[in-house]
Amino acid sequence: MGYEPLSEEQREIRDLIRALARERIAPRAAEIDESAEFPWDMVELFREHEILGLPFEERFGGTGTGTLMVLVAIEEISKVCATTGLILALQELGSLAIRNDGSEEQKQRYLPRLASGEWLPAYALTEAGSGSDAAAMRSEARRVDGEYVVNGAKRFITNAGVASLYVVFAKTDPTAGHAGISAFLVESDSPGFEVGRIEPKMGIKGSTTGEIFLNDCRVPVENRLLEEGDGFRVAMRVLDRSRPGIAAQALGIAQGATDYALSYAKTRETMGKPIAEHQLISAKLAEMETRCEAARGLLYKVGMAIDEGVEPLTKLSAMTKLFCGDTAMEVTTEAVQILGGYGYMKEYPVERMMRDAKITQIYEGTQEIQRIVIAREMLRENRASLLAGVA
């Protein structure tokens, strides 16, 4: 066995989730993709085994096992079904704003419901005209007596229509750019809250992605996170800690595709021997495995950094998401190639894995944005070159 950075307890939890993924989730993966229906049975499975409690502290009903364990679990589940892995990733994403910046009263009110899986959350930042540029958002929140009246629309919201709690960002000062954004906790039964179109998608088809509308939506003042104008900081702190969850999903897809391609290549014969023994195929497999292992090194590093309270996380988080997302796309493409014509058929899972992989290069910040973030953080660093002063 190679180097293993996980503790004995973490390995035991990983192995339990791995077995659950193989025995209960994998048999449903193709059907979830084909039906494009949200898999409530998988949510119930997670509730039964307390998997949705992984992101939460014990005092709120969670497992208290830390971020690294969440990432390992998302990877294991995504090896067989990226849609189901995303359910856990969204439980992390949708709760982070409360866990990071919520008041004690907000935490006590909402986190136990999320930890038990009674409620699913969603994160509502993106709008039709403001994806990577949050300052361009048009949603507004106006304070009237003891509540806010929120108006606007959000687009591409994962868990739209199935979430009970939405973290919504809107401008309380439309003239102040980033400094005018505030964050609110909006329950799905709030007056003026409405779910719109659910989008048909290329991949992760069992996950709902849709529009939400806030039409004079009434939100109590006590549901604001921090102070007015703190919303952009809330959003960025969330993204630094949520991008690794998407990286874990991407790595799971890549490793699942690598494992399947290897199994296929060991049994498929041409010219009198398994194709795995042909030099070009073996080279592809070697490259796929190496990329997965390198991606896992970044993923585990950022998970441990979060658990140890390391700051800042921005650069490491962006690098992890960038490398894991690109690995997922490259590896699944090669997996389809190794299977040849069979790889292009829906009967085999690598076709689904390739479609699922693409979104990991887009959501939680596109790969282009990750590169901008990484380069910006590099320019801020004060590090000396070994060649300084050399002509």
- For 341, half-sphere exposure in the C-beta direction (CA atoms, 13 angstrom radius) is 0
**83-110 b/e (C-beta count within 10 Å ≥ 16 → b):** bbbbbbbbbbbbbbbbbebbeeebbebb
CATH number assigned to the domain covering 8-116: 1.10.540.10
Q: Which candidate, 219, 214, 171, 183, places its Cα nearest to that of 196? A: 214
User: Annotated catalytic, 9?
Assistant: no
Question: Does pTM surpass 0.85?
Answer: yes
Q: Which candidate, 357, 306, 317, places its Cα nearest to that of 333? A: 357
**pLDDT number for residue 36:** 97
Distance of alpha carbon 348 from alpha carbon 353, whole angstroms: 10
Sign of CA pseudo-dihedral 334, 339, 344, 349: negative
Amino acid identity of residue 193, one-letter, is F
Q: Tell me how crowded residue 386 is: count the other CB atoms within 10 A of its CB.
A: 6
CB 173 within 8 A of CB 179: yes
Average pLDDT per block of 10 residues along the chain, 391 residues long? 82 97 98 98 98 98 98 98 98 98 98 98 94 88 96 98 98 95 98 97 98 98 98 96 98 98 96 95 98 98 97 97 98 98 97 98 96 96 77 60
Pairing, β 269-270 against β 140-144: unpaired
Angle (CA) 258 365 299, round 5°: 45
Distance of alpha carbon 139 from alpha carbon 104, whole angstroms: 27
**pLDDT number for residue 132:** 80
Give the pair of three-digit tokens for residue 61: 């009903």
- For 192, half-sphere exposure in the C-beta direction (CA atoms, 13 angstrom radius) is 15
Domain boundaries, the chain: 8-116, 121-229, 233-380
**pLDDT number for residue 176:** 93
Domain 233-380 has CATH 1.20.140.10: yes
Dihedral angle over CA of 151, 365, 97, 295, nearest 10: 160
Distance of alpha carbon 377 from alpha carbon 334, whole angstroms: 32
Among residues 50, 364, 368, 377, the one annotated as catalytic is 364
**pLDDT number for residue 133:** 83
**pLDDT number for residue 153:** 98
Distance of alpha carbon 106 from alpha carbon 223, whole angstroms: 7
Give the pair of three-digit tokens for residue 391: 């002509």
Beta bridge partners of 165: 121, 187
Q: Which CATH superfamily is domain 121-229 in?
A: Butyryl-CoA Dehydrogenase, subunit A, domain 2 (2.40.110.10)
Which helix H or strand E contains 335, and what residues bound it?
helix 314-339
Q: 58 — phi, psi (to 5°)? A: -65, -35
CB 370 within 8 A of CB 318: yes
